[in-house]
Structure 1
Amino acid sequence: MSKRFILSLLCAAVCRFAFSQKLDSLLEIQRKADPQEKIYVQFDKGYYNPGETIWFKAYLFTGSEISEVSKNFYAELLDEKGAVISQRTAPVFLASATGNFAIDSNFAKPFVYFRAYTVSMLNSDTSFFYSKAIRILSTKSSLAKTVATQTPPALSFMPEGGDLIASLPSELAFLATNEQGLPVAVSGSVADNTGAKLAEIKTLHDGMGRFILTPEAGKTYTATWKTAEGKQYTTSLPAVKAQGLGLKIVEGEGTKRFMIFRSGEVDDALKNLHIIAYMNQRLLFQANANLTAKTAASGNFPTKDLPSGILQITVFDGNYKPVAERITFVNNHDYEFDGDAFLAEKNFAHRGLNVVEISTSDTLPTNLSLSVVDADLNERNPMDDNIISHMLLTGDLRGKIVNPYYYFFSNDDSAAVKLDLVMMTHGWRHYNWENVFAGKVTPAKWKESSYLSLSGTVAGLPPGGYSPGLQLTGILQTADSAKNFVVLPVDRTGKVFTDGLIFYDQAKLFFNFNKKNLTFDKSMLLLDNGLRKGYVRAIPDSSVKTGLPELPPAIVAANNKANRMSLQASRLLANSKVMSTVTITAKAKTAKDRMEEKYVSGLFTGDAVNFDLVNDPLAGSYMDVFQFLQGRVAGLQINYGGGEPTLSWRGATPVVYLNEMRADVDMIQATPVSDIAYIKVFRPGSSIVSGGGGGVISIYTRKGGDAQPDPNSKGLSYISIAGYSPVKQFYSPNYATFSERDAYDDVRSTLYWNPAIFLNKSQKRLQLKFYNNDITKRFRLIMEGMNTDGKMIHVEKVIGE
C-alpha cells in the first residue's frame, strides 16, 4: 500500500510538472502570435484652440517591458461619427514615436477623437487601441450640445469568480455609472423574490461597492436603489446556478491567498481542479486541488518578487475547462525610476528666459518628453491617466476608470482596497482557453514591415532579361535632399524587395539596371512603401468623451481671446514684408551647431566626436570615409584587409548608420567622401542608439545648400514614393536674436515641447531653455518617459512667480 501511495504521488507530481511545462509553452505561442502591445500618448496639453497644433509622443509596451514588436506607428484624428479626418505615420525608435496634427483655424467641432495603434494591435483586440477625446475650444460649437442627459444611470453586479452558485457565499462587486460612464453614488438593498431583504448596498468609491450574498437555488434577486437625488430604480442580479464553483482572493503580506469552494453535488470534473496565476502572458504559479473528499481548498501565491501589474487567476476543472476567473493587482512600487524636472532659472517677465533642468540618477538609457504650458490657460486634473496608470492599469482593462492615477499616487491604505474594486468591476483581456490548449492562434490579417520597405514587380523586360544577378541600383533622394544608395535585387519573376528604410514626406528613387544592355523606365515598376493603407472606421464610444474637461467659462474665454490674438499675429506675419535691416546682438551659432540642427535628430543627439566635412577642404582627398576616420578617434580601430575595412572598439564592433538608418560597412565604403557632410562618433556605452555597445558611427550625406551636383544621376529615370508623415518642428522663439515674427503678440499656450530627451550614464543631467510669452504668470510642467528596463516616470508641477 505504501509503495502504491508513493508511486501515485510521484505520478501526480510528474503530471503537474508536465502540465505546467506544456501550459507555459502554449502561453508563449500565444504571446508570440499576439504580444498584446499597448500604447500611451503624452500630449503637450489637454485641450486646443482652432489653428493650434496637437503635439504628441507615444510610448509602446508589451506587458511590463518596453515593446520591441512594432516598427511603424499610426495615429488618427476622427470626428464624432468615427470617420478619419487625418492620419500620421511615424517610425518607432526606442519603443516610442512622435508626431503632430495641425487643427484648421476654421475647425468648428467641439472635440475630436485621437486614436493610435500598430499593426500588431490591429491584428489583436482592436478595443485596446489607444483612444482619447480631445476638446477643441471652438466658439462656433458647444460641447453641451453633444451630451444627452436623459438616460437613467446603470447598475451592474459582478460576482467574484464569475457566477452566483446556490448555497455558496459570494462577494459581489457593483458599479453604478451614468450614460457617459462616470460614477454615480447609490444606496439601497437586495431582496429575493419573496421580498426578504438580504443585503444593504452603498457605494464605497467612484460608484463602486461590494457586499456578500449566499443565494438559494430556485430564487431570484433584485436590487432596489436610489441616487443621491432620490430617484429610485430596480436592477436584477445575475441568475443563480444550481451547482458550481466559487473563487475568492484575499490580499496577504506579500501573497495572494486563493480560496475555492464547490457545491455539495457537482460533476466529477469539478472535484479535481487546476489553478494557475499568470501575468503579462507568462505562467507564474500553478497548483492543483482535489475536492473529492472535501468542498473547499486554499493556497498562497507569493507576490513580493513579482513586477507590479495585473495578476490573472484562472481555475480549470478536471477537463481543463475554465470554471472561474479573477484578476487582482500586485503593487510592489517598483515601476518608477528616480528623476526630476525643475526650473533652474525662472523668469516670468515679458519674454523672459527660463532654464529647465532634467536629471536622473538612473544609469540606464532614458527616453523622455517634456511639456511646459500656461497653467492659467490649461487646467488639468492631476489624477488623470498618465504613463504609469495607463501602462499598469487602464491599458489592460475595459471600461472607463475615473482618476486612475489616484491608485498609484495615494499612500492611503484604502487605495489598495479601492483598486481591488476596480479589478472586480472592469473587464480585461481574456484568453480563448480552448485555442490555447490546442496551440491554435488567429492568423495575422495584416503584415508588419521592418520600417519602410520597397516592394513591387519589374515588368516589360525582353526575353531573357530576368537573368541571375539582375539588380536595380540607384539613389534615394529624400525631401531634404539627403541621398542614400539603394539596391533592389530582381528575382526571376521580376519581384523586388528591400526594407529597413526611414525617410519622411515624398522621396525620389533614381534607378538604372546593373546591366548595360537594359534601360530602366519608371513605367516598368510600381512600388509600395510597406505601410498599411486605408483606415479602420471606428464606432466611437460615447463614454470616451467623459475625458473632456469641464472648463469654467473664464478659462474658455481666456483661451478664445489668446487664440484670436495668435491667429491675428499669424495673418499679419504672413502678409508682412521682410524687414530691411536687422541688428543681431546675440552670439552667432558655431559651424557645429548649424550642422547639428541641419542633420541630427532624435536618438542621435548628444555628446560625440564630430567631423564637419563640408567645411574641411581636404576631406575629399580620402579614398573613403573610414580612411578619413583612421587615427582621428581615440580607441577606434580601423584596419583594412582584402579591401574592406574592419572596425573594432573596446573588443566590440561599432554600429554604422547612414542618415540615421542602419547600414553595412561596404555600403558606407562605397559612398563618396565628397557626398558626406557630417560624422558623429559615439564612444561605447555613450549612446542609446540600437546596438551601440561597441560605439556608433553616424554618417550624414549632404543635403540642401551643402549638396553637390551628382553627374551620375543625370538621365536616370525616377519614381516618387511616400515616406512617413512629414516632421514639423516645434517653434520655440529665441528672443536673444530678432526675427520678423517677434514684432507681433506672443500668446503661445504651449511654451515648450520636446519629445526627444535622451539621458544615459554619461549624461544624467540636461538643461533646456525656453522664453516666456507676453502673458503667462504660471507654468505647468509635465515630464514623462521610461528607461530601457521598462521603469517609468511622471513629474507634474505648477510653478508660479
Structure 2
Amino acid sequence: MKIKVLLFILSILLFAFTFDDEWIKQLSLKFSRYQNSFPQEKAYLHLDKPYYTAGETIWFKAYLVEANTLTPDTVSIPLYVELIDNQKGKLIDKKILKLENGSAAADFLLPDSIQAGYYRLRAYTNWMLNFDENLIFTKDFKVFRPSQEENTTKLNPQEIDFRFFPEGGHLIEGMESRLAYKAVDALGNGLDITGVILDQNSDTITSFESEHLGMGFVNFKPETGSTYTAKVHYRNIYEKTVELPLPEKEGIMLGIESVVDKENIRVFISHNFSNPTNLVIVGQARGEILYLAKPTPDKRKVMLKISKNKFPEGITQFTVLNDKGQPLCERVIYIKHDNQLNINLVSNKTKYNKREKVTLDIETTDTKGQPISADLSVSVTDAGQVLEAPYAENIWTYLLLDSDIKGRIEQPAYYFDNSNINANRHLDILMMTQGWRRYRWNDILKDEFPQPKFNLERGISLSGEISRLNGKVFEKPVNLTFMFSLKDSTKLFGMGLAGKEGNFMIENLNFVDSAQVIIQAIAGNNNRNTKIFINKNYAPKIQVVAIPFNSVTFDVKELADYLRRTKEALDFERSLRFNKAILLNEVKIKAKRNVQDRDSRVLYNQANKSLKVDQTMIGYNNVLDLLRGRIAGVQVSGSANDPVVTIRGASSFTGSSEPLFLIDGIRTEKSTILMIPVTDVDRVDVLTGAESAIYGMGAGNGVISVLTKRGNPNYDYSNDKAAGIEAISIAGYYPTKEFYAPKYDEILPEHARPDFRSTIYWAPKIRTNANGKAQISYFNSDATSKVNVLLQGISTSGIPIVAKHTYELGN
C-alpha cells in the first residue's frame, strides 16, 4: 500500500519546557488541582466466553484500576454490575460486588425464559457517576435459545454514515492538511469505500479510498472562496454526496507525525492569523501534563520534536491553547512502548485425552526477566463451540485504548498485533477519526470546582431525608435510630442526628446478600410524627441501543451443534440440582422438641419474668415507662423520659444499680431502649441470678431484654407501618459462587453422562506469588476439539496482561 506523507515546508523551531510565564504556571497548577480533586477510575469485566444460551451462567471477573496509573484501585469498595436487555432498554438484574485489592468475581444466571437477542453488562462505582456516562464500562453479548428462531437484522445498504475529520479540528483556506474520514453502516461497522472530492464547479480535486474498516485520509488544501463536496461510492452500487466542513479564513493547524519515527514525535503547528496571539502547546497523558511549550507569536510555522519516552504507553493528547485558555485545536495519538510483561502460559502436555487432567503453569516477569506480582483470571473453552471473534477487546485494549476514545472501536486488538505491518499506521488514522473523551478544558480551567455529586464509597451506603408529615423541615435536630437485621441473624444498631435539612447517610456498611433495616426518627424529646424518605441508589439511564455487530459467524451445523450440546449440559446441571433436592427432602431428623421454641435472639433458656406487649399498652411513652408496676421486683422511678430502673434480687458487682439492657439479644444503652416505640415491642424479659449470669459481669444488676416484633427473623415487614418508623430491605454484597468443574479422578454416578461443556474451566482468582508463578489444574471434557485458554489480568505496577494458549483434546 502506498504511504502518503504530508510535507510541511516549515521554519523549524524547537521548544523546551518554559515555566517562567505566570499563565503557564497557573495552567499547570489548575490541571494538577483538577486531577487531585477528580481522580478517575476504570472498570473492566473479563467474561468466560463471548456469547451464551438461555439458562447458562455468565461467569466474570471484575477489575477496577486508577485511571492515571492503571494500578489496582483500592479506594472504592462496592462495584455495581448490571445485566441489561439492549433491545428493550430494561434492567434485568443488578449485583453489588465487594472489591478486594481492586477485583472481585461474580456471575449472572440467565433465566431459562430469557429471549434470544443482544444484551449488555455495565459496571461502575458510585464515584464514576461524577463523570461522562460514556466512561462506564459496557460489554455487549448475544444470547441464543434452542427453540427460538433468530431474528436477523436486515440493514439498508444505503444507510451509510460518512464523516470527514480535519486533523487538529479545522480546515483553513490556503493551507494544506490531512483530512481523515470514516464510513460505517447503521450498526457502526466499517465499510470499504471509494470517493472523489469536487469543488463548486464539479471539478475533481482529488480521489480517495479507505484503507482499513472504512477509514483513511487524504491530503487536502482548500482554496479561498471555494466550497467542496464528496461523492462516496460503496460496492459500486450506491453513491452518497457529503459536504466537506467549511474552511475557516483564519485559524491554526495542528499536524502530528508519530508513525515513521520510532523514537520521536513531530508536532507541526502553523497559522495565518493577521493579528498573532500567544499560544501554548500542551502534551498530556494519563492525567498529567508532560510537555509544555510557548512558541514566539510571530512564527507562523513551527515544528516540535519530542521524545516518545516523555509519555507512557497509551493515548497522548496535544492541545494548542490561546492566552485566554481556549483550546484552538487538538490531536490525539497512541504511544507504543516495548514494555509488555512476559507471560508464560504453559500446559503440561500439548495433546490430551478426554477427561484427562490438565496442569497449567503461569509465570509473569517484566522485560528484564524479573518476577512480578499480578491478579489474573483464566477462561478455558471448547474451541468447537466457542468461536473467537477476530481481534476482540481485552483488558489491554480497553484500559489503554477503548476507554479513552469516543465511540465504538471495531476489532481493537488488530492495532496491537505485531504481525500486521500496517497496524501502527491504521491506529494513527483511528486517532484522527475518533477523539479524546476524558477531560474538558473548560472544566479544568475553572477557578472553583463544583463539589462531586457522588461520593467515594468504602462500603454500602443508605441515605434519606427526615421531614414533618407536611413535608417541611424540622427546626431542631432529629434523633435517628437504626437497626439492621442480617441474613445470619446478626443485629446491628446505630444512633445519630439528621443534618440541618433533614438529610442523613449511613456509610461503610459491610454485609452479604441483603438486610432488613428499621429507621426510627424522633424530633425533640418525643415527637414521632416524622416522615422518613429513603433515597434510591442512583443508576445511569438505560437506553435502547443499536444491536451490535456479531463478529462471530456460525455456519448452520456449528450453531446447531453448539445449541444441542449446551442444552445437554444444562439438562444435566438441572438433574443434579433436582436429585440433590430430593436427597435433602428424604433426610429425617429425630430430636426431643422443647416445650417452648427457642428464640434465636437470646442466649437464656427461660426468662425469670416476662411481659407480653399487646394493643392495650400502646399509649405509654416508652418501654421502661410501660414496666412501671407491671412486673414484680422491677422498680421504675423518675420521669417518663428519664426513668431509673432497678431489679430486686440482683447483686451488683459494678457499683451501678441499673441492669444490663438488650435489644433483640444485642447489648445497648438505656437511651436506645427509650427510643423504641411500644408498638414495635413483642415482649420484655427480665433476668436475674443464673439466667442473667450468662451475659457476664455487666449483668450483675440483672437484665432487661427487649424483643421487638421486627427483630424476629420471621417477621413480615408488610404487616404495619408505625409513625416515625420506616422498614426497608436493602441489597448487600453478592456472595461469590464457585464454578462447577467435575473431578474425574474419582468415580461418581453423574460422571456417566456425556460432558460437552462449552466453558471447560473458569478460574477468576489467580495471583502470582513473589516468584511471579501460579498453577491451576482441571479436567477436560468429552470433546474432540481444540481448546482455547485465555488469561487476562493486571500487574501490581499497573500493566494490563493478556496471554493465550491452545492444546488439542480427544482422538
Return the offset for 1:308.
Answer: 0.4
Distance 1:350-1:578 versus aligned 2 partners, 3 A rule = farther
1:777 alignment partner, one of 767, 774, 785:
785
- Aligned counterpart, 1:106: 113
2:284 alignment partner, one of 275, 278, 295:
278
2:167 alignment partner, one of 149, 160, 173:
160
Q: Indicate conservation of the 8 Å contact 1:192/1:220, yes or no.
A: yes
Return the offset for 1:386.
Answer: 0.6
1:332 and 2:337 are equivalent in the alignment? yes
CA distance in 1, matches of 2:355, 2:226: 73
1:288 and 2:288 are equivalent in the alignment? no
Return the offset for 1:457.
Answer: 9.2
2:34 alignment partner, one of 27, 30, 33:
30
- Aligned counterpart, 1:676: none
1:314 alignment partner, one of 305, 319, 323:
319
Larger Rg: 2
CA distance in 2, matches of 1:445, 1:488: 26
Q: Indicate conservation of the 8 Å contact 1:504/1:726, yes or no.
A: yes
CA distance in 2, matches of 1:13, 1:567: 63
Higher helix share: 1
1:49 alignment partner, one of 47, 50, 53:
53
More deviation, 145-154/415-424: 145-154
Q: Indicate conservation of the 8 Å contact 1:163/1:241, yes or no.
A: yes
Task: Trace 1:477-626 onto structure 2 (pairs within 5 A).
Answer: 479=487, 488=494, 490-491=496-497, 499-507=507-515, 533=537, 535-542=539-546, 545-576=548-579
2:90 alignment partner, one of 83, 95, 109:
83
2:348 alignment partner, one of 344, 348, 351:
344
Task: Trace 1:264-275 onto structure 2 (pairs within 5 A).
Answer: 266-268=273-275, 270-275=276-281
Task: Trace 1:407-418 onto structure 2 (pairs within 5 A).
Answer: 407-418=415-426
Return the offset for 1:723.
Answer: 1.1
Q: Indicate conservation of the 8 Å contact 2:280/2:294, yes or no.
A: yes
Distance 1:471-1:104 versus aligned 2 partners, 3 A rule = closer
1:586-637 Cα deviation digits (max 9, x unpaired): xxxxxxxxxxxxxxxxxxxxxxxxxxxxxxxxxxxxxxxxxxxxxxxxxxxx
CA distance in 2, matches of 1:320, 1:232: 42
More deviation, 191-200/372-381: 191-200
CA distance in 2, matches of 1:745, 1:106: 25
Return the offset for 1:313.
Answer: 0.6
Q: Indicate conservation of the 8 Å contact 1:348/1:777, yes or no.
A: no
Task: Trace 1:631-650 onto structure 2 (pairs within 5 A).
Answer: none
Return the offset for 1:736.
Answer: 3.0
Q: Indicate conservation of the 8 Å contact 2:404/2:438, yes or no.
A: no
Return the offset for 1:716.
Answer: 5.2
- Aligned counterpart, 1:128: 135
Q: Indicate conservation of the 8 Å contact 2:49/2:386, yes or no.
A: yes
Q: Percent of counterpart pairs with the same letter?
A: 27
Distance 1:507-1:200 versus aligned 2 partners, 3 A rule = same
2:403 alignment partner, one of 380, 385, 395:
395
1:169 and 2:176 are equivalent in the alignment? yes
1:45-78 Cα deviation digits (max 9, x unpaired): 0110111001111222313422345322111111
Return the offset for 1:552.
Answer: 2.2
Q: Indicate conservation of the 8 Å contact 1:388/1:793, yes or no.
A: yes
* Structure 2 SS opposite 1:504: coil
- Aligned counterpart, 2:388: 380
Q: Indicate conservation of the 8 Å contact 2:743/2:779, yes or no.
A: yes
* Structure 1 SS opposite 2:412: coil
1:75-107 Cα deviation digits (max 9, x unpaired): 111111211111111122222232211111122
Return the offset for 1:768.
Answer: 1.6
1:226 and 2:233 are equivalent in the alignment? yes
CA distance in 1, matches of 2:351, 2:466: 62
- Aligned counterpart, 1:58: 62
- Aligned counterpart, 1:788: 796
Amino acid at match of 1:312: Q
Distance 1:369-1:577 versus aligned 2 partners, 3 A rule = closer
Aligned alpha-carbon RMSD (Å): 3.7
1:354-413 Cα deviation digits (max 9, x unpaired): 222222235443111111111110001351111111111111111222221121122555
Distance 1:96-1:714 versus aligned 2 partners, 3 A rule = farther
Amino acid at match of 2:808: G
* Structure 2 SS opposite 1:313: strand
CA distance in 2, matches of 1:455, 1:320: 40
Q: Indicate conservation of the 8 Å contact 1:188/1:226, yes or no.
A: yes
Q: Indicate conservation of the 8 Å contact 2:317/2:332, yes or no.
A: yes
CA distance in 2, matches of 1:164, 1:445: 39
1:322-374 Cα deviation digits (max 9, x unpaired): 1111111111132x322222222577434322222222235443111111111
CA distance in 2, matches of 1:274, 1:224: 38
1:463-493 Cα deviation digits (max 9, x unpaired): xxxxx9x99899x775467x6x967353598
Q: Indicate conservation of the 8 Å contact 2:19/2:25, yes or no.
A: no
* Structure 1 SS opposite 2:445: helix
Q: Indicate conservation of the 8 Å contact 2:741/2:778, yes or no.
A: yes
Return the offset for 1:509.
Answer: 8.0
Task: Trace 1:607-756 onto structure 2 (pairs within 5 A).
Answer: 717=708, 718=711, 721-738=730-747, 741-756=750-765
Q: Indicate conservation of the 8 Å contact 1:69/1:120, yes or no.
A: no
Task: Trace 1:353-364 onto structure 2 (pairs within 5 A).
Answer: 353-361=357-365, 363-364=371-372
CA distance in 2, matches of 1:120, 1:473: 26
Amino acid at match of 2:341: F
Return the offset for 1:729.
Answer: 2.0
The answer for unaligned runs of 5 or more in structure 1 is 1-11, 461-467, 513-517, 582-708
Q: Indicate conservation of the 8 Å contact 1:488/1:497, yes or no.
A: no
The answer for unaligned runs of 5 or more in structure 2 is 1-15, 469-476, 585-693, 697-702, 712-726
CA distance in 2, matches of 1:758, 1:107: 35
More deviation, 723-732/210-219: 723-732
Distance 1:133-1:412 versus aligned 2 partners, 3 A rule = closer
Distance 1:472-1:340 versus aligned 2 partners, 3 A rule = farther
More deviation, 179-188/230-239: 230-239
1:426 and 2:434 are equivalent in the alignment? yes
Return the offset for 1:35.
Answer: 2.8
1:168-226 Cα deviation digits (max 9, x unpaired): 11111111111111111111221211222221201112211111111012211111231
Q: Indicate conservation of the 8 Å contact 2:133/2:540, yes or no.
A: no
CA distance in 1, matches of 2:113, 2:271: 64
Task: Trace 1:252-271 onto structure 2 (pairs within 5 A).
Answer: 252-263=261-272, 266-268=273-275, 270-271=276-277
Distance 1:505-1:325 versus aligned 2 partners, 3 A rule = same
Amino acid at match of 1:554: K
1:138 and 2:141 are equivalent in the alignment? no
1:301 and 2:306 are equivalent in the alignment? yes
* Structure 2 SS opposite 1:206: coil
CA distance in 2, matches of 1:74, 1:13: 43
CA distance in 2, matches of 1:97, 1:713: 43
* Structure 1 SS opposite 2:804: strand
Distance 1:25-1:425 versus aligned 2 partners, 3 A rule = same
Q: Indicate conservation of the 8 Å contact 1:54/1:103, yes or no.
A: yes
